[in-house]
Amino acid sequence: MKVKLKVWRQKDRNSPGEFKTYESPALNENMSFLEMLDVVNEELANKGEEPIAFDHDCREGICGTCSCVINGKPHGPHRGVATCQTYMRSFKDGDTIVVEPFRAKAFPIIKDLVVDRKALDRIQFAGGFISVRTGSAPDANSIPVPKENADLAMDAAQCIQCGACVAACKNASAMLFVAAKVSHLGLLPQGQPERYKRVKAMVAQMDAEGFGACTVTGSCEAVCPKEISLDFIARMNRDYAVALLKGDPKPISGGGAG
């Protein structure tokens, strides 16, 4: 099979970009989408043209690095997979495939299809953790966790931080990502002490990064490679409301000299 690629090319952050069209060489339908890009790139390089820059690493759908928007849909046509798990058998011979980078103000383009998703990390740095010093943990079985809570926490914890939710959302909202993090830790007993502090800190950082709000369109859930549910956004909304109602903690009173 052969396809025509309409790819976004952009030299760097500040240059304007444009679509360029390439004819692929003969392809095998068992190739992955990224392998198809490899093959196209080899051909470009052999012609002395600069290869298409695209992000990728593990190529098994778990590292969250790959990030293309394929025919208008982040991570391509299938549900529950990342771009790297998209195979050419999903396309027809002669198809034109439009490939674009994730688009959001919070994700500046580095080059071609590569975007900077550091904003998601900064949300994590703001509060996406349980403060536990190494060595201070009690025995692992001293805290029973109901299986359904552990399973639900795992559903949320599967997030691969690819940012497809942001890319898919018409508002470039990062709610599904933040909600997954907040829910994962908030569902577990270990996460309770910082539950409300965490949600406030992470939401504040999310807003500061310039992501949009949630209109509950559900497009994030539809493209999430881990099919993380919108239910978690509700959970975050609830936690945030409770956090606001609780207010900030009382400042530590001066106890005098010890």
Partner 1 sequence: MATLNSNVPSGPIAQKWEQYKFNTKLINPANKRKYKIIVVGAGLAGSSAAATLAELGYEVHNFVFHDSPRRAHSVAAQGGINAAKNYQNDGDSVRRLFYDTIKGGDFRAREANVHRLAEVSVNIIDQCVAQGVPFAREYGGLLDNRSFGGAQVSRTFYARGQTGQQLLLGAYSALAKMIGAGAVKSYTHAEMLDLVVVDGHAKGIIVRNLQTGEITRHNADAVVLATGGYGNVYNLSTYARGSNATAIWRAYKRGACFGNPCYTQIHPTCIPVSGDYQSKLTLMSESLRNDGRVWVPKKKEDCKKRPQDIPEEDRDYYLERMYSAFGNLAPRDIASRAAKMVCDEGRGIGETGLGVYLDFADAIQRLGESKVRERYGNLFAMYHEITNEDAYRTPMRIYPAVHYTMGGLWVDYNLMSNLPGLFVLGEANFSDHGANRLGASALMQGLSDGYFVLPATISGYLASQNPGKRPKTDHESFKEAEENVQNITKKLLNNKGKRTPASFHKQLGKIMWEYCGMARNKAGLEKGIKEIAALREEYWKNVNVLGGAGEWNQQLENAGRIADFLELGELMCRDALHREESCGGHFREEYQYTKDDPEVQQGLVNPGDVKRRDDAFAYVAAWEYAGSVDKAPILNKEPLVYEEVHMSTRSYK
Partner 2 sequence: MSIVTGILKSSLGKKYIMAGTGALLLLFVIGHLIGNLQVFGPPELINNYAHFLQSKPVLVWSARLGLLVILVAHVTTAVQLAAMNRAARPVTYAPTENVSYGAKWASRYMLLSGLVVLAFIIYHLAHFTALVPGINGAEDFRKLRTVMHGQSVPDVYGMMIIGFQVWWVSLFYLIAQGLLFMHLQHGVSSAFQSFGFRNHVWWPRIETLTKIVTIAIFIGYALIPTAIYMRVVGADYADKVRAELKQDGTVSPAESPAAGKETH
Q: Binding to partner 1 (CB under 8 A): which residues in 193-232?
A: none
- The H-or-E segment that residue 99 falls in is strand 96-100
Structure tokens, 250: 């009382």
With respect to partner 1, which residue has the nearer C-beta, 21 or 131? 131
The type of residue at 187 is L
DSSP type of residue 58: S
Site pattern 28..67 for partner 2 (x: CB under 8 A): ----------------------------------------
Please report, for the chain, how many H helices and E strands are present, in that order. Answer: 8, 7
How far apart CA 151 and CA 228 sit, in angstroms, is 13
How far apart CA 2 and CA 24 sit, in angstroms, is 6
Q: Binding to partner 2 (CB under 8 A): which residues in 109-168?
A: 168
Q: Binding to partner 1 (CB under 8 A): which residues in 142-181?
A: 143-147, 150-151, 153-154, 157-158, 160-161
Contact between 170 and partner 2 per CB under 8 A: yes
Contact between 77 and partner 1 per CB under 8 A: no
Beta-sheet strands, E only, within 101-242: 109-111, 114-115
> Where along the sequence are the contacts to partner 2 (CB under 8 A)?
6, 19, 69, 71-73, 77, 98, 100, 103-106, 168-173, 175, 200, 203-204, 206-207, 210-223, 229-231, 233-241, 243-245, 247-248
